[in-house]
């Protein structure tokens, strides 16, 4: 595969731009024999993309046929590429991840579901449409765990109602938590397998309480790493994908 095509597939711009980066000496490719990066100036030079390490303008990248990553969403951000009032989570990602080409009309990685602007925690992103569909399809019933801090103390009756089901105005049937673990007077972990609009906030309101803080820390068996600070992202490992049941 030509180097310019590899760079194009990884989101470094149209092929003409990628070719220019190479010709200007801004691209280095890892040379296993020499155990170092080697500058390439011929954009048509061929490489095997699988496992390829390269640097573009001093930043190291690994070739990824498809992008799978996690982001620790901070408060005050929107999960939209066209935000209405708050900065987009996509501005937290480097440009190549936002510009990865796709056969469809949409370019770059896309979030798997959304969190409200004031909700923090684990967001998954990918440019693999099948991956996004498998994780977000309602029939999959992927469990998501939210840490909820409430305004008022949580009672045993509230916990019971959340587990048995509460009525929301846009649902034909009661909506219930799959698990509800109280951690403190005003804090609990709530596990849901569906994602209705403002669902956690409306469920707590339905039992007579109010959400003050909301943080999603687990999807499936994948937990938000404690060493991933708000606003930072990382690639999903094979172990991470297995934790998602993939």
189 and 122 fall within a common domain: no
User: Could you list the residue range(s) of the whole structural domain that residue 132 is in?
Assistant: 68-139+222-243
Beta strands in 24-171 (DSSP E): 27-31, 36-39, 53-56, 59-62, 68-73, 110-111, 120-126, 144-150
Number of folded domains in the chain? 3
For 92-139, how does the pLDDT look when each residue is reduced to its tens digit (9 = 90+)?
A: 999 999 999 977 555 899 999 999 999 999 999 999 999 999 998 888
**Pairing of β 233-235 and β 68-73:** antiparallel
Q: What is the CATH number of the domain that holds 118?
A: 3.30.70.580
Rounded CA separation 151/48 (Å): 56
pTM for this entry: 0.92
Catalytic annotation, residues: 116
Q: What is the CATH number of the domain that holds 172?
A: 3.30.70.1560
For 55-103, how does the pLDDT look when each residue is reduced to its tens digit (9 = 90+)?
A: 999 999 999 999 999 999 999 999 998 998 999 999 999 999 999 997 7
**CA distances to 156, 161, 163, 168, 203 from 153, in Å:** 10, 15, 17, 22, 15
């Amino acid at each position: 595969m030509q180097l310019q095509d590899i760079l194009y597939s990884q989101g470094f711009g149209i092929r003409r731009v990628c070719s220019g980066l190479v010709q200007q000496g801004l691209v280095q490719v890892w040379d296993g024999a020499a155990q170092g990066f080697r500058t390439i100036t011929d954009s048509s030079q061929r490489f095997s993309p699988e496992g390829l390490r390269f640097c573009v303008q001093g930043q190291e990248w690994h070739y990824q046929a498809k992008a799978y990553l996690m982001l620790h969403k901070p408060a005050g951000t929107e999960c939209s590429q066209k935000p209405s009032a708050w900065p987009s989570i996509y501005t937290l990602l480097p440009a190549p991840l936002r510009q990865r080409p796709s056969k469809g009309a949409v370019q770059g990685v896309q979030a798997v579901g959304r969190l409200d602007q004031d909700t923090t925690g684990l967001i998954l992103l990918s440019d693999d449409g099948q991956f996004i569909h498998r994780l977000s399809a309602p029939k999959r019933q992927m469990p998501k765990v939210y840490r909820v801090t409430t305004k008022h103390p949580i009672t045993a009756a509230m916990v019971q109602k959340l587990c048995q089901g509460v009525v929301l105005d846009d649902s034909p049937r009661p909506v219930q938590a799959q698990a509800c673990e109280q951690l403190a007077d005003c804090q609990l972990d709530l596990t849901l397998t569906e994602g209705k609009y403002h669902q956690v906030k409306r469920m707590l309101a339905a039992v007579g309480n109010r959400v003050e803080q909301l943080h999603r820390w687990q999807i499936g068996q994948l937990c938000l790493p404690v060493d991933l600070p708000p606003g930072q992202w990382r690639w999903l490992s094979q172990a991470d994908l297995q934790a998602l049941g993939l």
